[in-house]
Structure 1
Amino acid sequence: MVVKSEIDILNLLIGDIAESISPILWDCSVTDAFFKFMKDEKLNLISVVNEKGEVVGQLVRMRFLEKTVLGRFGYGIHLNARKKIYEVMEKPSLIIDYYLTIEEASMLVQTRKMENIYDDIIVTKNNVYYGTLPINILLNFLTQKTIMLARESNPLTGLPGNWAIKREIEKRILYGKLFDIAYIDINNFKPYNDYYGFEKGDKVIITLGEILHNISKKNPLIFVGHVGGDDFIILTDVDEAKTICEELIEAFEKNLFCFHGDDFHKGYYISKNRKEETEKFPLLSITCAIVSNRNGKISSFAHLASIASEVKAEAKRRSRLHKRSIIFEDRRND
C-alpha cells in the first residue's frame, strides 16, 4: 500500500489500502493455523480459501485461540490438532470487493453483527482472495478523507466545493460507475435577495444546504456539493436522483413562510428584475436538472458540463413557464 499525497487519499479504493496477508487452505490442519498465528502476534484474522483462491471462511485470532486451541477445559489443541480448517472455521463476516470506495466499505461494516464488528475485512479481486483490511486502518483513512474534504468546503454551507465536486465526478467516470447528477438552483433568487436583503438570502442558501446535508447523511453513497451562490449538485447512484429531488423540494417548500413572511399568504412579492423593471415574482422554488450516464457514455468532466448546460437551460425554461419547482430529466438517449 503506497499513498503518496492527499489526492491519492481522496481517490482511494479499498484495494489500495488492503494488506497483503497470505491466506490458508481450507484443508490444512488446525496446527498449521495455530503456528501461523503464533508466528505473527499482530495477525488478527486469517482468510480461508479453496484451491481456486476463493474465500470460504475465516479464523479470527481471539475466537480461534479460545474455542479451538484452549477449548472449554484447556484441552482444545489436543482434541482439535488433527482436524482440518474447514471443520473449525467461521463463515466470513464481511467480504468486500477491491474496487469499492472507503465510504461504501464503511457502510457495509455497519451491517455486521456486533460480535463481528471489529473483525478485519476480507478483500477480494475478481472473486479471488486479495488481502485483509483492519477496521482501524479503514477508519483512519475515512477520517483523513473527511478532514481533507472539509478544508475544501463552501464557507457558507459547509458542503464540498468545486474541486471536491469535480474530483468526485471524475472518479465515478474513471471507474465506469453509473450515476445520476442533479443540478439544483433556486428560481428568481436575485430579485429575492434584492427585495428581502442579503441576510435573508444567506438564510435561504444555508437552509437549502442543511436539507441537502441531511439527505446525504441517510446514505453515504449520495454526494452533495455547493457549486457557489444558489447552485448545488446531488450525485447519486443511477435512477435515484428524481426521488431525492422530490424529497428536497418538499423539504424546501416547508420553509416558504419563513422565507417570505406575510408575502407567503399573497403567493408573490414585487421586486426589480434584471432590467430594473418592477415585476411580480412567485414564491421561491427550485429547478432540478438531472443528467445520467445511463443514457450514454460520459467521457469526461468537460463532456458532462457540455451536456448539463443544455439540460439546465431546458429545465429553467420549463420552470419559468410553470412558475414552480420542477424536476427535468435528460432523456435524449433513452
Structure 2
Amino acid sequence: MLSIGDISENVPVVTLKTKSSDVNIIFEEQPNLEGIVVAGNNKPLGLVMKAQFYKKISVKYGFDLFMGRPIELVMDTKPLLVDYFDPITKVSSLAMDREQANLYDYVVVTKDDKLQGIVSIKNLLIKLAEEQVNQAMYTNPLSGLPGNVLIEEKISEYLINRNKDFSLLYIDLDHFKEYNDTYGFKKGDLLLKEISNLLSKNVLLNNYDSSFVGHIGGDDFVAILPHYNYQQICQLLITEFDIRLKQYYNEIDWKNKFVYTKSRNGQFRNVPLVSLSIAVVTNKQDEFHSIEDVSKIAAEVKTQCKEKGGSCYICF
C-alpha cells in the first residue's frame, strides 16, 4: 500500500519573519499554487493556504494590518502533520475529519520531524481511489483477502530481507470438492468464508502488525507470521475449525463422521468430513532463494499432512 510520502510534493517554504507582502508576491507569480509552508530549521511551523490568506487580508483594514507584517500573524499554526510512512488510507481519514474551513488545506508530510513536502486533497483522493481499485483487482472476491499477486509480493519481501524471521502456513481443506458436490457451492462458499474469518481472527487480530493472510484460490489459503511461534496459531486454527465445522453438516453426516458421496475417482463411497491441512515452512534452518522454492516445499509438506488424515499441521 502506498504511504503518504510516496505522493508528497514540494511547495515554496518561508520563515516566520517573511512578510505577508512577500507571500502575496509568491501567490501572484504562481497562480496555480494553493498554499505555502512556514518552517524553521526544516521543521514545519505553519501553513498558509491562498484562500485563507486573501480572506484575512480582504477584511476591513486587513491589508494595512497584515501586509507589512510577518506571515506568522496570518498562518495556520496547527496544520495537519502526518508521518512520511503513514498509509494514504489513514491520512485521508484524518484529512476528511477536519473542520469544514480546513477541509481542503494541504496535508504537511514530515519524516523524523523534518519537513518532506505536502499533499493536496485533490491528489490524495485521486491516489486513494487508484489504491482502492488496485486493491479490488488483487483481492479474492469471495473471501476479501489478498490474492496471488499480493501473496507473492509479501513472500518476496521476506526472501529479499534474509534477516527477517518468517513462518509460512499453507492451508488447504481436505475433501472440500466432495463437500461442494454434496451440499452445493453456496454452502461451500460459506465454509471458505469461515476459513478466511478464522485466519483473520487468529493471525491478523491476535498477532503482529506485519502478519499476513491471503487466499490463493479455491480452498487454498496462506498465512505468513513474522516469527517462528507457529504451533499455537496452527492449533488454534484447527481447534476452532473443528468446533465450527458442525454447523455445515446435517445431523446424520455429523454423527457418522462421513458423507456418502462420489469421490474424486467417480465412485460412491464414505468420504470423511472436511478437515484442515496446514503445511508450515520457516527460514529458521533453511534458506530459500525464490517463491518457487517456498511453494514447492509447502506443497510437499501439505501432501504429507493430507496422508495423516484429519486436521493437522506439519512443519518442514
Indicate the TM-score class for this superposition, using the shorter chain for normalisation.
Answer: 0.5 to 0.7
What is aligned with 1:28?
Answer: 18
1:290-309 aligned at under 5 Å gives the runs: 302=291, 305=294, 309=298
CA offset digits 1:133-159 (Å, max 9, x no partner): 112212222322332443444465564
Question: Structure 2: which amino acid aligns with 1:309?
Answer: A
Identical positions, percent: 23
1:1-334 aligned at under 5 Å gives the runs: 13-50=3-40, 52-66=41-55, 68-71=56-59, 74-89=60-75, 90-97=77-84, 99-100=85-86, 104-112=87-95, 113-115=97-99, 116-125=102-111, 127-154=113-140, 157=143, 159-170=145-156, 183=169, 185-190=171-176, 192-193=178-179, 196=182, 199=185, 200-209=187-196, 224-234=213-223, 256-263=245-252, 266=255, 268-270=257-259, 281=272, 284-285=275-276, 287=278, 302=291, 305=294, 309=298, 313=301
After TM superposition, give the deviation of residue 132 of structure 1 in Å.
Answer: 1.4
Query: Equivalent residue of 1:109, what SS?
Result: helix
Unaligned runs of 5+ in 1: 1-10
Aligned counterparts of 1:161 and 1:34: Cα–Cα separation in 2:
51
C-alpha spacing 1:204/1:19, structure 2 compared with 1 (3 Å) = same
After TM superposition, give the deviation of residue 227 of structure 1 in Å.
Answer: 1.0
Aligned counterparts of 1:283 and 1:245: Cα–Cα separation in 2:
17
Aligned counterparts of 2:112 and 2:285: Cα–Cα separation in 1:
26
CA offset digits 1:117-143 (Å, max 9, x no partner): 432222234543232111221222232
Q: How many residues align?
A: 306
Query: Equivalent residue of 2:94, what SS?
Result: coil
C-alpha spacing 1:183/1:60, structure 2 compared with 1 (3 Å) = farther
CA contact (8 A) 1:109 1:117 kept: no
Normalised TM-score (structure 1): 0.64
C-alpha spacing 1:176/1:123, structure 2 compared with 1 (3 Å) = farther
Query: Equivalent residue of 2:298, what SS?
Result: helix
CA contact (8 A) 1:319 1:325 kept: no
Question: Structure 2: which amino acid aligns with 1:183?
Answer: L
CA contact (8 A) 2:9 2:117 kept: yes
C-alpha spacing 1:34/1:309, structure 2 compared with 1 (3 Å) = same
CA offset digits 1:186-212 (Å, max 9, x no partner): 442447537735624344225545777
C-alpha spacing 1:211/1:77, structure 2 compared with 1 (3 Å) = farther
CA offset digits 1:272-306 (Å, max 9, x no partner): 98999967745645748596x9x799886539827
RMSD over equivalenced CA pairs, Å: 5.1
Structure 1 stretch displaced more, 273-282 or 147-156? 273-282
Unaligned runs of 5+ in 2: none
Aligned counterparts of 1:92 and 1:240: Cα–Cα separation in 2:
43
Normalised TM-score (structure 2): 0.67
Aligned counterparts of 1:248 and 1:31: Cα–Cα separation in 2:
66
